[in-house]
Structure 1
C-alpha cells in the first residue's frame, strides 16, 4: 500500500515538474506579456501557483516580461468569495514585489452603466435564465476582454493563460482540443485578434489538482486547505473567468457554485448561498430570500411590459386544452413558476387584425403593470397546407417601471439590514449604479427623481448625488403634457423621448444623427400594431 501511495506522489511530482518546465519554456518563447485569469477557484489557483513557483525558480535576468493576474468582479459576487479574492490578489502582489517577480494583479469589473442592477432595474432586463443569459457578456467577458485589448494595443499581442482542464467537462475538453494546433504550445483565441491562449494544466485531472494544492503550500501565504473546505460543502465547482464568447455556453451557469454571483437566477436553486448559510453564515439569509423572490417574478405577466425594449411586439402561442368539456389555457411550468390551467372564459379573444383597434378603443396601456387577459386569435397554415386556428398572448418585454421601482426598493431594504461580518463598507448596489439607473429612467421619460424618492423611503435621507439634475419640466407641466397627449391620442412615452432627444441636441450647430434618432423612436412597433 505504501508503495502505491509513493508511486502516486512521484507521478504527481512528475506532472507538476513537467507543467512548470512547460511554463518556463512558454514564458521564454517570445516577448508577449501574459494575462492570467484568476477566479478564486481550484483550477485557476493551481495555474497561478504553478506560474508563481516557476518564476521563482528562474534566473532573474530571464524574467523579462510582465505577467498580469486578473480577476473578474461582476459587482454581484458571492460576498465571502470576492473578499477572499481581494485578499489573495493583495497577497500575490505583495509577495511578487518581495520576490522581485514581474507579476501585477488587477481586478476587472463592468462600468456602472453596464452593471447587473443598471441592466435589470434601470433598463428593465428580465433576470437571466438559460435562454437569455445576458449577464455573462456584460459582467464578465466584456470587462476582461477590454483589459486584454488594452494590452494588445500596447504590446501588439498577448497570451491569455487559463486554468482550464480537458477532463473538466466533455464540452470544455472538446473546445480545448478544437483550438489546439498539434505541436504548438499556444492556441489562437477564437474571438480576440492578436490574443493567444496557453493552458498549462490542461492535462490535470481533478485528483491531480487537489493533490498538488494540498501538498504544495501557497507561495503567497493562502491556506489551500481552506479552499478545499469550501468545495467540500458544495456540489459544484468554481465559476470560471470567461474571456471567450464562443465558450460562454459550455462554461455553464455558476448558480450552483460557491464561486458564482449571489443573485444568479439561471438555476432553480442557489446552492452557493444556501451552502454558506448552512455553514453558519446566517447573515446571508436576506440575500437568498431576495434572490428567490427575484426568480419568482421573472415570468409574472403583471411585472412585465408587453413589448420588447425596442418597442417590438410579438405573439407567444398558447396551448388550449379541454377538461370536463371546458377549454382551458395551459401555461407550462417555467423556472419557479408552476404550471397553470386558466379558464378560457376569463380571457378576451381578439382577432389579430383587430388588435390595434381594440387597444385604442379600450385605452389599453401595454406598459402597465397588469395582465390584460387577452387571447389573440389568428390562423396559420399547417404542414398539409390547411389553415389552423391558433391563439397567442402578447409576448413579455422589460419589467414595468413599477416593477423596477419595487425591485430597487426591496434591494435597498436588504442592503439596509445586511451586515457583512468582515466588511463594514459592504454594499449591494453602489452610488454610481444608482446614478446610472436615475439617468436611464430619465431618458425613458421618468422625469420625476424616482430613484432618490425610493432611496428616501428606505433610508429616510436622500442619496448624495454630486449633481442634482433639474427636470426638463415641472410636475404641473408633466400633468399638462400627459393630458394633451391623451386628448390628441399621442403616446406620452414617445413624446417624452422626443423631448429628451431635443434636449440632448440643444445647442449643437450641426445635429448629425438627429433624423436617425427620431426615426428610431417613431418606429417602435407598439405604435403601429
Structure 2
C-alpha cells in the first residue's frame, strides 16, 4: 500500500514537471517576444530558472530564436550573504549559458542613487519605512525592474515576464493570479505595464512540489540546492519575491522576516532574518542588526523629525483624551513595542496653544520647526479637540547622525570574505551631498563628516561647493533675524537660483520660487 502511495507521488510529480516543461517550450516557440525571468535567490524563482534553463537545453539549437533575460533586484541594502549568493549564481548561469549556447543573459537591476534607501533616508530625510508608509518597495524594487522591462518593450514591442508565483502561497496571491488570468490563455496581462505579459509556469506547484523538484534535480549551472534548503530550514522566514507589479505588492508582503530581504528593513518589529543568521554562526552581522534596531527605534522620535512635510505643509495629528480621577489626560501613542504615554493635560506637561494663536506662539518663542528637539506643543483646535504638530522628514542633524553611525558600522564591519564590503555606495554619498547642499547645508558638512569617520577623502566635485563661507553664512543669518525673514527660505531661494544659473531659458524657476514662498510653515 505504502509503495503505491510513493509511486503515485512520483508519477504526479513527473506529470507536473512534464506539463511545466512542455508549457515552457510551447510558450517559448510560439512567438518572438523576449522573456524576462525574475530571480530572487529563493526557492520558487530558482525552480522557474532551472525549468527554463533545462527546457531550452532540450530544444533544437535552430529553435533558440529569442533572448531570455534573467534579472535580479539589488536594492543596495540586500542581506549581505544573500546578495553574495545571487551574484555567484548569476555568474554561473551566464557562464554555463555561454558554454552550451543558450540565448540567456543575466542582469541585476538597482535603484537610482537618488531613489535608494540611503538616498531617501539620509539625503531627503524620509522616515524609515513602516506598514503604513512602505515607500521602499516601489522605489527600490518595482521601479528598477519595470524600467528594465520598459526598455525591452521599447526595443521589441512586447515582452513576457516569467515569475515564480504559486496559487497555494496564499489566498490573496491565488486571487491576484486568478484576476489577471484569461480562461484558456497561459499569459496574464501585466496590470500596470502596457505590452508586458506575465507567465507563471509553476502556479500549480505546491510547496512540497517545489522542494521535491529542487532536491531531486541538480542545478544545471552547478549550485547546491541542499544549501538553499538548509537556508530555509534554519529559519522561519520565507522568500522575498522579485516584485514587478504594484497590484501584487501587498500580497507579496514585507520581506523584513525573509532571509532574502533587506538588512535595513524596519517594516517589521523584529528582524528574524538577521537574528537567524547571527544565531547560526554569522556573528559578524551583529553590528548590522544593532544599526537596524536603532534606526527603527528613532523613527517616531519627535526630537529627530521636522514638524512639517517636505513641501512645507503643516498638518495636525489628533490626540486622544481620557479622563482619570476627574482630570483630562492626553494619550500619546507610541509605535512598535513602546508603551503609550498618558499625561494630564496641564501647563506642567505641555505648552498648550490655541490653533489661532499658533503662529504668534512660534514667533514669540522663536520655534524652528525644522530643528531638533520638540517644544511639546499641545494644540487646542478650533473644534475643541487636541492635536500635535504632525511629523515630517528627519532633521538635518539626524540625517548627519544616521550617516555617521552607518559609516562607523561600515568601517568596523568584519565581513568574512569581502574586506571592502560597503554599506553605502559612493554614488549615494554624492547624491546625499547634493541634497544636503540644496536644503541649506552651506557648510558642506558631508565631506568633512566622511573624512572624520573614514580617515580618507573621496574625489568630491567641489563645483558643488556652497556660495558662502562660514562667516558669511553667520552674517546672513543675523541679517535675516534682524529683519524677521526666515533664514531657511533665503537659503532655499539662493539654492534655486544656483540650480538654474547658467541656463539661458530658466523654465520652471518661477514655479520653484512660488513653491518656496507658499510653504505652509511660513504662513501659519
Match of 2:396 in 1: 401
Is 1:374 aligned to 2:369, yes or no? no
Note the 1:9-408 alignment, pairs <5 A: 9-345=10-346, 346-380=349-383, 389-408=384-403
Q: After superposition, give the CA deviation of every residue in 1:77-136 in whole Å (9 maximum; x if it has no partner).
A: 000000000000000001111111000000000111111001000100000000101100
Instruction: Tell me the CA shift for residue 14 of structure 1.
Output: 1.1
Query: Structure 1 stretches (4+) deviating beyond 6 angstroms?
Result: none
Q: Which whole-Å CA distance do the structure 1 matches of 2:365 and 2:286 have between them?
A: 45
Is 1:488 aligned to 2:483, yes or no? yes
Q: Which whole-Å CA distance do the structure 2 matches of 1:471 and 1:310 have between them?
A: 22
Tell me, yes or no, if the aligned pair for 1:33 and 1:158 is still in contact at 8 Å.
yes
Q: Secondary structure of 2:304's partner?
A: coil
Instruction: Tell me the CA shift for residue 505 of structure 1.
Output: 2.0
Q: Which whole-Å CA distance do the structure 2 matches of 1:517 and 1:337 have between them?
A: 40
Q: What TM-score does the superposition give when structure 1 sets the normalisation length?
A: 0.97
Tell me, yes or no, if the aligned pair for 1:72 and 1:108 is still in contact at 8 Å.
yes
Match of 1:435 in 2: 430
Measured on the aligned residues, the alpha-carbon RMSD in Å equals 1.1
Q: Which whole-Å CA distance do the structure 2 matches of 1:407 and 1:323 have between them?
A: 40
Instruction: Tell me the CA shift for residue 513 of structure 1.
Output: 1.5
Q: Which whole-Å CA distance do the structure 1 matches of 2:451 and 2:270 have between them?
A: 33
Q: Which whole-Å CA distance do the structure 2 matches of 1:290 and 1:250 have between them?
A: 28
Match of 1:519 in 2: 514
Q: After superposition, give the CA deviation of every residue in 1:229-256 in whole Å (9 maximum; x if it has no partner).
A: 0001121211000011121111100000
Q: After superposition, give the CA deviation of every residue in 1:278-327 in whole Å (9 maximum; x if it has no partner).
A: 00000000000000000001111001000001100100001122334433
Q: After superposition, give the CA deviation of every residue in 1:332-383 in whole Å (9 maximum; x if it has no partner).
A: 2422432112342210111111111111111111011111111110243xxx
Tell me, yes or no, if the aligned pair for 2:447 and 2:460 is still in contact at 8 Å.
no
Q: After superposition, give the CA deviation of every residue in 1:166-208 in whole Å (9 maximum; x if it has no partner).
A: 1111111100000000001110000000100000000000000
Q: What TM-score does the superposition give when structure 2 sets the normalisation length?
A: 0.98
Q: Secondary structure of 1:317's partner?
A: strand
Q: Which whole-Å CA distance do the structure 2 matches of 1:214 and 1:334 have between them?
A: 42
Tell me, yes or no, if the aligned pair for 1:19 and 1:200 is still in contact at 8 Å.
yes
Q: Secondary structure of 1:302's partner?
A: helix
Tell me, yes or no, if the aligned pair for 1:349 and 1:375 is still in contact at 8 Å.
yes
Instruction: Tell me the CA shift for residue 467 of structure 1.
Output: 4.4
Is 1:473 aligned to 2:463, yes or no? no
Q: Secondary structure of 1:128's partner?
A: coil
Tell me, yes or no, if the aligned pair for 2:434 and 2:464 is still in contact at 8 Å.
no
Q: After superposition, give the CA deviation of every residue in 1:26-63 in whole Å (9 maximum; x if it has no partner).
A: 11111000000000000000000000010011111111
Instruction: Tell me the CA shift for residue 468 of structure 1.
Output: 5.6
Q: Which runs of 5+ in 1 are unaligned?
A: 381-388
Tell me, yes or no, if the aligned pair for 1:308 and 1:398 is still in contact at 8 Å.
yes
Instruction: Tell me the CA shift for residue 466 of structure 1.
Output: 4.8
